[in-house]
Every structure is written in structure tokens, then in C-alpha cells.
Amino acid sequence: MPRPEVTGGGGLHATVVLGDLDGAASPGTAYTPVLGADLTLAAGTAARLPLQPDFEHAALVMSGAPEIDGVPLTPGSMLYLGSGRRTLPLTADTPATVMLLGGEPFAEKLVMWWNFVGRSADDIVRARDDWMQGARFGEVGGYAGARLTAPELPPGPLKPRGRVR
């Protein structure tokens, strides 16, 4: 099995958490084609990371201020990259860490609201009710605050969005 690390020119190191990236595979089990990789960019990094073009990708900045595909980002920023990409340009003037997430696009449109994703508005209503009753979602270990209260549902209809393959 290949090691779950990728080291690229220009100060890029990737640890593959789930899936595979540029020949490195995670030992983790996934039931759908997905990618999760922890990217470390050294100061002065200028690299291009190979991607699977049939996946859609997003990059979540954990620290530093890298440029991803030419877009300057700060910690907590997530950049949706879409699909069809064969490479991803990454630059960093100072050290940075980024989570690269990817996978096959969903075949159907989805309804997304607050922390819930479903295939219909009814799925979201059920998820909110379950959350408020403490059912189905479990507890977050180590969280020091009280359980978050889901906001009230919006007055208008929740509509499925996205693309259909």
C-alpha cells in the first residue's frame, strides 16, 4: 500500500486522511469515492497539486494565509473549487495548513440549511426536530458549551439546489 503522504516541490506536504491523492492512499475505509487531505505549505511554497477531475473539491484554510487557485484566503475560509480540475495551484508566503476535501458530486439536488443536508424540505424539518429533541445526532465529546439550539426554520420554502449529473 502506498504511504499516505505526498511531498511536492515548492514546500508542499500532504497527509491523506481518507481516499487517495497523487498515488498516496489512506488506510481508512470509505464507502464512497472521497478525498480528505491535510496540506502543509511551507513559507515560500509555490506548487501545483494533482486532482481527480471527476471529483468536486473544496479547500478549508486552518492556519496561515495561502492563495489557492489565486484566491487569497484566511483561517476559517472555505473555497469551493468545483469539478473538472486536473491541478490545484497553491502558494504561501508564510506557513499555512489547509484541509482539501473532495468526492464525486451528488447525483441529485440537495436541500441545505444550517447544519443539515437532505433530499427534501421534509428531511430538513425532521433533522431539526431530531436535533432539538437530542435524537439521532449524538453528542460532541469535548465541547465545553451547552448544546447549540437550531435556529427557527425560515418562513419560505426550502428548495433543493445544486446540479444534477
All three cell numbers of 95? 506557513
Report the alpha-carbon distance of residue 84 to residue 103 in Å, rounded: 12
Distance separating alpha carbons of residues 135 and 31, to the nearest angstrom: 24
Would you say 1 and 25 are in contact if contact means Cβ atoms under 8 Å apart?
yes
In this structure, the dihedral spanned by the alpha carbons of residues 126, 131, 134 and 137, taken in order and rounded to 10 degrees, is: 90
- The model's pTM is 0.72
Give the containing element (helix H, strand E) for 128.
helix 121-133
Residue pair 119/106 in contact by the 8 Å Cβ criterion: no
DSSP character string of 92-115: ESS-EEEEEEEEPPPSS-BEEETT
* HSE-CB of 146 using CA atoms within 13 angstroms: 3
Place of cell 464525486: 104
Residue 95's pLDDT is what?
97
22-77 confidence digits (pLDDT tens): 999 999 998 889 999 999 999 999 999 999 999 999 999 999 999 999 999 999 99
Mean pLDDT of 89-105: 96
Higher pLDDT, 83 or 9: 83
DSSP string, 48-66: EEE--TTSEEEEEEEES--
Mean pLDDT rounded to a whole number for the chain: 90
